[in-house]
A and B are shown apart, each in its own frame.
Chain A
């Protein structure tokens, strides 16, 4: 039986991951900003598990670092040993919107990098203290290369990816498995209305890829998998090309 903590399960890819884990009988503990939303999502997961699963929840807001320790403590009290802590929460805004709004820029950079890392640091201590476990964090393909449409969002995710890579190098032999998830364009509420690039994916497939990567104890997973090759090429394009192209 898997015991999993999810931060960000009320929406998008986190919700889909939670549903799939619930469907295979995992015991879940949900962290999020709104207790009302958490309760609704918990009921949904329970029903998707056949009606009698145990789904706990506690308040945790990435913008309120004081909430991290009590939330993780509540999760540990609820689950006992934790097999995985999964973070799908984060902010997104288009480059256009960010360039026009400094406050939003600061907020996005802080939440996606500084505060997510702060949460992960506490999650890391907790997992190491109990002898190991998996820390799975949603970064983005946007962090793989500085690109015109995601200059700021991409920078926040590049920092996060670098942090997760470092964790993997430093702590894997102590039992901490760090999985950095790099979703490409996925059709969720976050991306609705944006122009869809080729190889867009659905949350169902992304969640299945992430579960498989966790099983295999991978350090990085691109989802949908095609994005691994897309980014392989983009990372190798010379700067004079990147200055010309729009992606």
Chain B
């Protein structure tokens, strides 16, 4: 149970976004092709919550990619771009938004590297239309565990390519990424949002609005009980037409920094309940609309740097799962109930209807509903994660590795039927299993099921 505390060492260690520290260092290099020979794992900005970006026990350091952030080619006729893996999405947006190009898929934070976007095969508000980021990736340059540098794509070394999309950096070090940017009509977003009073209606509306809107997402109050259970706010949006858009590009915004680490436990069911209630009732009128800055629309939390300090030194984990359409909505309901029963709550809960499955071997989303829960870490958390996973298994769903730090190998391997296929490809390119993370050691180890 890697991040549950046994090897915690905040002063000298390394952590994911959930702020649970393990021993290890990050050594950065501008030359990934050369430096990757000496490491067993690459990491970008460390925004995955758990231990995906942390060196496995016994490995001293991970290779940090953020200094390798050059744009190697861009064709403004076709929108095909090639970058080094450490380029930060915030920088990509800053450079290309005003030129009316945007990443085809963006996660909920812009403080990720392009390499990380491939390794996590990130999805966004447009998943039901555009799929994951991997769908738009054309080629990858990879240093494999065997030591070769391989240029791969859907045509060339396709197994390595597809295993690397959503492969958590484990088939090989990602060095360069070539992908298709999206041409946008203006650098502004037109958005509408609706306050919705119960879960069934929220899920119905999410599906219904997805038919006409390219971007949808719902925020859910997980503390409200009874008839109001699963009430929330549905956000839909699309790129604004040139006529609707504000003049020029959105001005740069200054972010605030969360200045201190709150005491652990400051976010609890009571305070989270108050916060959720406030968010719900201050959405007045019931339907709102307007033209907004894409930063505000895609990355509301990025306006407070280090917001993970809200959770105190004990940190936070996320549990994000997708419940396939065939399994209905009971799974979502059960997981919200699980939190209530455990006396915990999720500060920010997000539901998203997912479209078709990506071609990455371990790509997370599949057609159905995804539920993302933010859970403050305390002694009970591993048990909460286990009961949430029981629901996911019963619904034939799966979890998102990027968010996970606490699932057990048993739970993961029971829900992830694609793992053997993934490991077979990994073995072909990394026969000695040199590339590994704390997470892969925790979840991929051989067990008797």
Contacts and interface: CB of A to CB of B under 8 A. Distances in A.
Closest 7 A/B residue pairs (Cβ) = A44-B70, A47-B71, A192-B28, A189-B30, A193-B27, A44-B71, A11-B30
Contacts of B71: 43-44, 47-48
Interface in A77-107: none
A69 B442 CA distance: 58
Given A47-B95, A48-B95, A51-B99, A189 B28 contact: yes
B299 interface: no
Interface string B54-73: 00000001001001001111
A198 to B, nearest CB: 15
A188 B67 contact: yes
A69 to B, nearest CB: 28
Contacts of A41: 70
A43 B64 contact: no
Interface string A44-84: 10011011000000000000000000000000000000000
Contacts of B76: 51
A52 to B, nearest CB: 9
Contacts of B64: 192
B25 interface: yes
A11 B69 CA distance: 11
A132 interface: no
A43 B99 contact: no
Interface string A25-49: 0000000000000001101100110
Interface string A93-125: 000000000000000000000000000000000
Interface residues of B, number: 17
B30 A12 contact: yes
A135 B181 CA distance: 40
A161 to B, nearest CB: 26
A232 B29 CA distance: 32
Given A51-B99, A188-B67, A43 B73 contact: yes
Given A41-B70, A189-B67, A50 B99 contact: yes
A193 B30 contact: no
Given A47-B71, A48-B71, A192 B29 contact: yes
B74 interface: yes
Interface in A1-42: 10-12, 15, 40-41
A40 B176 CA distance: 12
Interface centre among B27, B70, B73, B74 (most CB of A within 10 A): B70
Contacts of A10: 30
B27 A192 contact: yes
A44 B91 CA distance: 12
Contacts of A193: 25, 27, 61
Nearest to A39: B72
A51 B76 CA distance: 8
Interface residues of A, number: 16
B201 to A, nearest CB: 46
Contacts of B67: 188-189, 192
Contacts of B30: 10-12, 15, 189
Contacts of A51: 74, 76, 99
A44 B25 CA distance: 29
A19 to B, nearest CB: 10
Nearest to A190: B30
B60 to A, nearest CB: 10
A43 B28 contact: no
Nearest to B26: A192
A79 to B, nearest CB: 22
B44 to A, nearest CB: 15
Nearest to A191: B28
Given A43-B71, A192-B29, 13 more contacts: A43-B70, A43-B72, A44-B71, A47-B71, A48-B71, A48-B95, A51-B74, A51-B99, A189-B29, A189-B31, A192-B27, A192-B28, A192-B67
Nearest to A52: B76
A193 to B, nearest CB: 5
Nearest to B73: A43
Interface in B7-32: 25, 27-31
A126 B73 CA distance: 34
Contacts of B25: 193
Nearest to A41: B70
Interface centre among B28, B30, B61, B99 (most CB of A within 10 A): B30
Contacts of A11: 30
Interface in B378-393: none
A44 B29 contact: no
B365 to A, nearest CB: 31
B43 to A, nearest CB: 13
B68 to A, nearest CB: 9
B408 to A, nearest CB: 34
25 contacts: A11-B30, A15-B30, A40-B70, A40-B72, A41-B70, A43-B70, A43-B71, A43-B72, A44-B70, A44-B71, A44-B72, A47-B74, A48-B71, A51-B99, A189-B28, A189-B29, A189-B30, A189-B31, A189-B67, A192-B27, A192-B28, A192-B29, A192-B67, A193-B25, A193-B27
A234 B31 CA distance: 35
Nearest to A203: B67
Nearest to B67: A189
A129 B70 CA distance: 35
B441 to A, nearest CB: 23
Contacts of B70: 40-41, 43-44
Nearest to B74: A47
B82 to A, nearest CB: 9
A223 B449 CA distance: 58
Interface in A176-200: 188-189, 192-193
A15 B30 CA distance: 10
Contacts of B95: 47-48
Contacts of B27: 192-193
